[in-house]
Structure 1
């Protein structure tokens, strides 16, 4: 039997999911497909068309850092479900991936969620998708060692076609927000810079640690409760940690931008979202410092060629940018971005149109 889970693009609301914030992702058409079968010997085995060899590990040996690499995302799901008290036995999985790896489109969450659905079906767990998402987050945090929040897994499991998912990470509530760019004569282009990133390399975790330290310094549970005026209280602390104020400022302003974008979408004013995408990128570039020259160039070239707005998406340090583009300017923007990369001596980017698509499901 097979299960498929999509990648995701975050329209806006970056690096706020671990700060109690709100974000607005949508699922992609690209899917990671997992063929899975139960095993009676208490082992987990995995193979992938994108990787060489076979991973084979006993369930009792799954632990932080083991198995290493891509298989940790899948094996970690079994570990997390077993740790939560669910009766999960061995599993054999074969993975076919079309979600680009390392592109900031949540290839890891797609793999986790496809495996989670497979385990839920094969072992008859009957878990809600929110419970499966929580297990996937725990797998990524504790087995892989990537300090991510829960946005990616929620989007992959809960998204519906023609909508973006408004996710409130403080209380876990969600709302489907109508989002069909083509109906407004627009397209969302995903520009994969081909600069590969790895969220377990420490830089992502350092950003999360700064956010949590800033909240603690303000006496708040999360920065969701903070205002820009509150952040003035970080100036004394900042003498000891110069990153706290700008990191916190990004989170507070980004949460506000999500609310503005949702209000525009609810009013049918998608074309007015562009400046908020631009502001999000600038905040991520300057305050959060998670962009890179290739992402900055992709956004600038897209805007110059007619995009209404553009920003990096995903964890950063590489990966992809998105651009909101009138349908009649898609070819112009695509060509301008590719030409700009060539002129800068960068490798060629991959540009695709993103269609808001359905979440994970069993496919056969």
Structure 2
């Protein structure tokens, strides 16, 4: 049974009637551009072929009922003046409803199903937010653009969930295209499609999920954002987007060492995003190897968001023949990605398994993702 039918059946079993429709949105993998989004920089994510499905129907009262394939029972919330709190995973869909509540005249029944890995740095949260936002937009005829819906999802995560994330995840989930990445200018919110062309070169993107779960609402993410804001304030700019490599010498003299390293990562990472785009557009994907390596080193040493499991995953992928590899996502756990020949995948899985056992780590999960279309109505 495909996930659209499975989600429809789950809704009917949970609520006793068929949903009005089913909407879906992909998780995302980020090729490059980590923590640059909330600094108004550049990012290059793509939607993946693992999605969250939202079956929904309007109600005649203000009650919201949410069921899922991955939890027992139903979460109920009365949509009113009180912001939802302390509801764990349910804050993601409820947060979206809370942000758009001015346009809602009724509650809804919602059932969620998903095959996006949770905690792997593949933005399972944005997939939930975007599938629900698109469903609400259609059912209530709110007429928001996909970019506006992405901003609604971000507000939900920032204001209700309490995770200080940027706009990348929701924009990628909403605007993704098949076999392409999305270059996002997080200052202007302009987007450009960047063709990947992996299939023609027998290449795939492998995800090495360390299965060390992370949460953006924890303090490590916030402290990195605070350091970036501190650096921008001391340097006299509204965001680190305004600084380039020529400003690093002045920054080193003005900032303490930790803040300087945080700022250096953002400045150099923006350049690496644009260099990756240039290589892809020139059909020279082999050039991204050194760029990805520099990105990972910067996240490990300057931004300090990698962990030993991620470092080992990247090292093992490169030894196995990947043309490029780096950690992806917010860090403190999650996954690494590797651009690798399809024929080398079995060797990569074996090598990662052996390396993790030797290091005394938990089991890692290796799987491939392909660039997939953005949020859409399925039925």
Same fold per TM (> 0.5)?
Answer: yes
Aligned to 2:106: 89
Which residue of structure 1 aligns with residue 29 of structure 2? 9
Q: Distance in 2 between matches of 1:124 and 1:145?
A: 28
Alignment of 1:249-264 (within 5 A): 249-264=264-279
Structure 1 residue 51 corresponds to structure 2 residue 68: no
Distance 1:355 1:88 in 2: 38
Note the residue ranges of structure 1 that are not aligned, 5 or more in a row: none
The whole-number CA distance in structure 2 between the counterparts of 1:237 and 1:270 is 38
One of 284, 299, 320 as aligned partner of 2:335 = 320
Gapped regions of structure 2 (runs ≥ 5)? 1-20
1:180 and 1:356 in contact (8 A); partners too:
no
The residue number in structure 1 matching 2:48 is 28
Deviation at 1:230, TM superposition (A): 1.7
C-alpha distance in structure 1 between counterparts of 2:238 and 2:370, whole Å: 36
2:369 alignment partner in structure 1: 354
Determine if contact 1:275/1:308 at 8 Å carries over to the other structure: no
Structure 1 segments of 4 or more deviating over 2 A? 85-89, 231-239
The yes-or-no answer on 1:70 pairing with 2:89 is yes
C-alpha distance in structure 2 between counterparts of 1:281 and 1:52, whole Å: 39
Moved more, 164-173 or 66-75: 66-75
1:276 aligns with 2:291: yes
Aligned equivalents of 1:139, 1:263: Cα separation in 2: 34
In structure 1, the residue matched to 2:38 is: 18
How does 1:224-243 map onto structure 2 within 5 Å? 224-239=241-256, 242-243=257-258
Cα deviation digits, residues 295-342 of structure 1 (max 9, x gap): 111001111111112111011100110011122222212211111011
TM-score, reference length from structure 2: 0.92
1:199 to 199, 216, 219: 216
**2:165 pairs with 1:148:** yes
Identify the match of residue 212 of structure 1 among 229, 241, 249: 229
RMSD: 1.3
Q: Which residue of 1 aligns with 2:13?
A: none
Per the alignment, in what secondary structure is the counterpart of residue 76 of structure 1? Answer: helix
* Structure 1 residue 237: Cα displacement: 4.4
Alpha-carbon distance between aligned partners in 2 of 1:91 and 1:209, rounded to the nearest angstrom: 37
The equivalent of 1:135 in structure 2 is 152
Q: Deviations over 1:66-115 (max 9, x none)?
A: 15211101001011112xx4235312111101101111000000000000
Which among 161, 165, 172 is matched to residue 182 of structure 2?
Answer: 165
Aligned length: 359
2:356 aligned with 1:344, yes or no?
no
The TM-score normalised by the length of structure 1 is: 0.96
User: How many angstroms apart in 2 are the aligned matches of 1:233 and 1:358?
Assistant: 43
- Distance in 2 between the 1:143 and 1:232 partners? 39
Q: Per-residue deviation at 1:244?
A: 0.8
